[in-house]
């Protein structure tokens, strides 16, 4: 059966790459390009036609009889027309997304659990890389770092073997934070400076900040990179008595988010006492509002010193999860986490 999928993200662009795979892929493409001499291993420019109509000009790259890539113009209506011409296929933004991994490994005839399967998983992770360190780590694995390391460990004996194995386990544990960034929830009373810190950590003015109590109501979730490590950053309504209905709804969502947090950063402005720990697993209390009288010298000052605030929070996150400063060691092997895309909800 012939399947096809877009390898490039859906949407307007200069070029869209469509992979056609499965038994009969080459024949299916040849039928669309009657005037071109489509042969294996030699890219060729072809006019694609269907139902007597010209669809688009395409660069056709036939990797194998069961795997052909079509590089067409990136206009979505033309890609949809090509999709109709190819028929049947399953329309995915990217074949290398999580559901495509086994398919990709299976299509290449390799054992999905073996070296090729690992590489396919690494390519899939690469498509959803959360930050540069993640991309480089997955690229190393796609190029065979894990298989090489496993062979090297196999040849070792005694303590050296145990140590190499332990190091691989530890790097693999850390790599899971690259695949699924921890959810970092900013909490604390109203006007603790949560939204100001949120903006400083993101490096842009995403949240409205104000000394008016109850400014933040909706949840704000944004991916961010602290130092070299990715996080999912969450800002929410602060706690205060006397909030109106809408603000109370926001506070409830905030409590839900704290319960789901991997780490809660509780900002304590001068005079505030953190409540007893709730359902959250981990919580760190940090003095905030360094601009106010009575704030300790180490209080966060995200407005005056955003770089310092970012470095401080990055260090807290690394300490909370026992992560090294560097998120990527060139060429180092890691065991791959499942190819689930980073959490986005």
Ligand X SMILES: Nc1nc2c(ncn2[C@@H]2O[C@H](COP(=O)(O)OP(=O)(O)O)[C@@H](O)[C@H]2O)c(=O)[nH]1
Candidates 195, 199, 251, 288: give the one binding Mg ion (CB under 5 A).
195
Stretch that binds ligand X, among 9-17, 55-63, 135-143, 301-309 (CB under 6 A): 301-309
Stretch that binds ligand X, among 83-91, 140-148, 209-217, 310-318 (CB under 6 A): 209-217
8 A C-beta contact, residue 68 and residue 21: yes
What's the longest Cα–Cα distance across the chain?
Answer: 80
340 lies in the site for ligand X, by CB under 6 A: no
Of Mg ion, ligand X, none, which one sits near residue 290, judging by CB under 5 to 8 A according to partner kind?
ligand X
Helices 306-321 and 194-202 sit at what angle, rounded to 10 degrees? 90
Candidates 150, 303, 316, 332: give the one binding ligand X (CB under 6 A).
303
Other CB atoms within 10 A of residue 283 CB:
17
236 lies in the site for ligand X, by CB under 6 A: no
φ, ψ (nearest 5 deg) of residue 307: -65, -45
Cα 255 to Cα 2, 129, 216, 235, 249, distances in angstroms: 49, 29, 14, 11, 10
Nearer to ligand X, 178 or 243 (CB): 243
291 lies in the site for ligand X, by CB under 6 A: yes
Nearer to ligand X, 100 or 238 (CB): 238
8 A C-beta contact, residue 68 and residue 62: yes
Strand spans (E) along the chain: 3-6, 15-21, 44-50, 53-64, 67-73, 183-187, 220-226, 229-235, 263-268, 283-287
- Residues 125-184 within binding reach of ligand X (CB under 6 A): none
220 lies in the site for ligand X, by CB under 6 A: no
List beta partners, residue 229. 226
Task: Give the shortest CB-18-to-Mg ion separation in angstroms.
Answer: 45
Stretch that binds Mg ion, among 148-156, 209-217, 252-260, 304-312 (CB under 5 A): 209-217
- Residues 210-269 within binding reach of Mg ion (CB under 5 A): 216
Candidates 2, 121, 191, 251: give the one binding ligand X (CB under 6 A).
191
Task: Give the shortest CB-11-to-ligand X separation in angstroms.
Answer: 34
Query: The tokens of 213 are what?
Result: 């109590």
Pattern of binders to ligand X over 270-289, x per CB under 6 A?
A: -------------------x
Query: The tokens of 201 are what?
Result: 């950590």
Task: Give the shortest CB-248-to-Mg ion separation in angstroms.
Answer: 15
Q: How far apart are CA 57 and CA 119, in angstroms?
A: 32
Tell me the torsion sign for CA atoms 208, 211, 216, 220.
Answer: positive
Of Mg ion, ligand X, none, which one sits near residue 107, judging by CB under 5 to 8 A according to partner kind?
none
8 A C-beta contact, residue 194 and residue 187: yes
The contact set with ligand X (CB under 6 A) reads 190-196, 209-211, 215-216, 238, 289-291, 301-304
The contact set with Mg ion (CB under 5 A) reads 194-195, 216
């Amino acid at each position: 059966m012939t399947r096809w999928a877009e390898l490039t993200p859906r949407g307007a662009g200069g070029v869209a790459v469509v992979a056609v795979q499965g038994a009969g892929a080459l024949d299916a493409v040849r039928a669309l390009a009657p005037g071109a001499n489509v042969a294996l291993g030699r890219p060729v420019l072809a006019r694609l036609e269907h139902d007597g109509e010209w669809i688009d000009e395409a660069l056709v790259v036939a990797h194998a009889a069961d795997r052909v890539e079509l590089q067409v113009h990136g206009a979505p209506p033309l890609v949809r027309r090509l999709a109709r011409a190819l028929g049947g296929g399953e329309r995915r933004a990217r074949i290398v997304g999580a559901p495509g991994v086994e398919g990709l490994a299976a299509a290449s005839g390799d054992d999905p659990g073996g070296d090729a399967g690992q590489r396919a998983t690494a390519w899939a992770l690469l498509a959803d890389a959360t930050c540069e360190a993640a991309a480089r780590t997955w690229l190393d694995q796609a190029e065979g770092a894990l298989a090489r390391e496993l062979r090297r460990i196999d040849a070792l004996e005694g303590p050296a073997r145990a140590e190499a194995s332990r190091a691989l386990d530890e790097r693999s544990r850390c790599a899971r934070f690259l695949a699924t960034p921890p959810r970092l929830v900013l909490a604390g009373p109203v006007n603790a400076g949560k939204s100001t810190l949120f903006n400083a950590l993101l490096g842009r003015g995403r949240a409205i900040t104000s000394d008016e109590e109850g400014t933040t109501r909706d949840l704000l979730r944004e991916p961010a990179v602290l130092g070299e490590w990715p996080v999912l950053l969450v800002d929410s309504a602060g706690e205060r008595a006397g909030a109106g209905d809408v603000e109370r709804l926001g506070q409830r969502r905030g409590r839900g988010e704290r319960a789901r947090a991997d780490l809660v950063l509780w900002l304590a402005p001068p005079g505030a006492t953190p409540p007893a720990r709730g359902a959250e697993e981990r919580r760190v209390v940090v003095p905030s509002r360094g601009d106010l009288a009575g704030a300790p010298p180490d209080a966060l000052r995200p407005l005056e010193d955003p770089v310092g605030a970012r470095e401080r929070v990055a260090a807290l996150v690394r300490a909370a999860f026992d992560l090294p400063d560097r998120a990527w060691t060139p060429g180092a092997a890691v065991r791959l986490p499942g190819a689930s895309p980073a959490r986005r909800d």
